[in-house]
Amino acid sequence: MTAILDLDPFALDVLADPHPHDARLRDAGPVVYLPAHGIYAIARHAEVHAALRNWQGFQSGAGVGLANFRKEAPRRPLSVVVEADPPYHDAPRRVLSALLGPRAQRRLREGWTVQARELVDRVVSGGDGSVVEFDAVGALAEAFPLRVFPDALGIPDEGRENLLPFSDFLLNAFGPRNELVAAGAPRARALSDWVGEHSVREALADDGFGAQIWAAADRGEITHGQAPHVVRSLFAAGVNTTVHALAAALHALAAHPGQWRRLRADPGLVRVAFDEAVRWASPVQTFFRTTTGDVRVGDAVVPDGSKVMLFLGAANRDPRRWSDPDMFDVHRNPSGHVGFGFGIHQCVGQHIARLEAECLLGALLERVESMELAGPARRRLNNTLMAWDSVPVRAVLT
Ligand code: HEM
């Protein structure tokens, strides 16, 4: 028997505070039918993990948003990476894995460490010498990735202000056509055109990720037709996600000053602390799959061709998997969280995101003795992301 819940996961009050609704979903059963959108929902960790692993039963190729492209023609271009099933997924994925792996990290680490220190220096020099207040979203969580990632991708300074609204719209478009989508719609075409113009070989610096994707096409690893779409996937997935993961980490640390003290005592914990923030806040809250046949989940059967919403954020706080799941704890072992997904589509940029976090939080640890929230943090609603508009912070400097 499949449980049925009267819940709209895209209602603005639910997006603003998903946690109580996540608990209702988890408690209702291993899979739950949501008549509000005619979809199934999976929110427990074990079942989300199993569905992410089972790409044969839960495909991505019919769209990882609410729309079912087995039943309707796509109104937007499908991603050749995140919305492709094997065998089409294999080659672009291989190219990105090679590009964004350990070699890139070694190449980028030194420069990013210097840039993070310079940014933090600029931000903290605004205070009275011992205490400084700043908005952690604008000053750090946006500023750092918007500097280093487009540089690494190989795009010019001009037009970078398009990156966040482009990806914001794309991630909103995974949901229904609600007011969040409507608000971004007037600019959507122009933003998409801008990304298209900057995904071609001529627009990209010759030493960045973009040029390397085109070089992979020259070597025959992907087709020249696929290359601009693979570049586009980095525009779509590479900046906004990291911005809101960094914002989540800074918010979590400012809201829990004791955890900052623990990090100061053992700065080697920075990487784990970032992963714990990704578990605790889950910047990417949800993604969809589509069943390719009747699929059993627990004691229920999800019929062929159903859209299934996977609640990564709910799984990351499932008490069946985590002790004290609502507690942000830098001494926890967060491995096994699904904040980066799992299985063949698990985030191919996760090491880049972790490197950005390590550089930025590491630089902040060198300069900031303690920090706390300096006022109420403000959420930015998005159909897919748990995002922040503003996180005011007061920092006592070393
Ligand atoms: C896939 C989250 C940073 C590029 C994913 C998925 C998640 C995710 C949950 C899985 C989607 C699915 O299963 O359908 C995040 C978070 C990030 C982050 C939370 C920041 C903390 C990045 C960065 C890049 C990137 C920095 C690029 C450098 C991608 C790509 C995919 C992906 C291309 C598709 C992979 C595939 O389908 O094989 N990400 N991501 N992400 N991510 Fe990330």
For a substitution probing ligand 1, which of 350, 352, 361, 384 has the most ligand atoms within 8 Å of its CB?
A: 350
Ligand 1 centre distance from Cα of residue 12 (Å): 24
167 CB under 6 A from ligand 1?
no
Is ipTM strictly over 0.90?
yes
CA-proximal residue: ligand 1, atom 10 (nearest): 341
Average pLDDT over residues 321-344: 98
- Tell which atom from ligand 1 comes closest to the C-alpha of 312: 9
What's the 233 CA to ligand 1 centre distance in angstroms?
Answer: 9
Q: Annotation-wise, does 359 bind a ligand?
A: no
Q: What percent of the chain has pLDDT over 90?
A: 97
Q: Cα 211–216–217 angle (5° rounding)?
A: 95
Superfamily of domain 3-397: Cytochrome P450 (1.10.630.10)
Cβ–ligand 1 contact at 341 (below 6 Å): yes
Q: How far apart are the first and last CA of the chain?
A: 59
Pocket test for ligand 1, best of 59, 241, 288 (most atoms within 8 A of CB): 241
DSSP assigned state of 217 = H
Q: Is the pTM of this model over 0.80?
A: yes
* Ligand 1 center to 345 CA (angstroms): 8
Cα 260 to middle of ligand 1, angstroms = 27
User: Does the pLDDT of residue 373 top 80, yes or no?
Assistant: yes
Per-residue confidence (pLDDT) for residue 348, from 0 to 100: 98
- 22 Cβ contact list (under 8 Å, min separation 6): 43, 311, 313, 314, 317
Cis amide leading into 87 (omega within 30): yes
Q: What confidence tens digit (pLDDT) does each residue in 79-122 have?
A: 999 999 999 999 999 999 999 999 999 999 999 999 999 999 99
Residue written as tokens 């779409």?
Answer: 229
pLDDT band at 352 (very low <50, low <70, confident <90, very high): very high
Most confidently predicted of 74-83, 117-126, 174-183? 174-183
| pLDDT tens sequence across 297-308 | 999 999 999 999
Residue 129 clears pLDDT 90, i.e. is over it: no
- Tallying the residues shown for the chain, one arrives at 398
Which sequence spans correspond to the domains of the chain? 3-397
- Give the model's confidence band at 127: pLDDT under 50 very low, under 70 low, under 90 confident, else very high: low
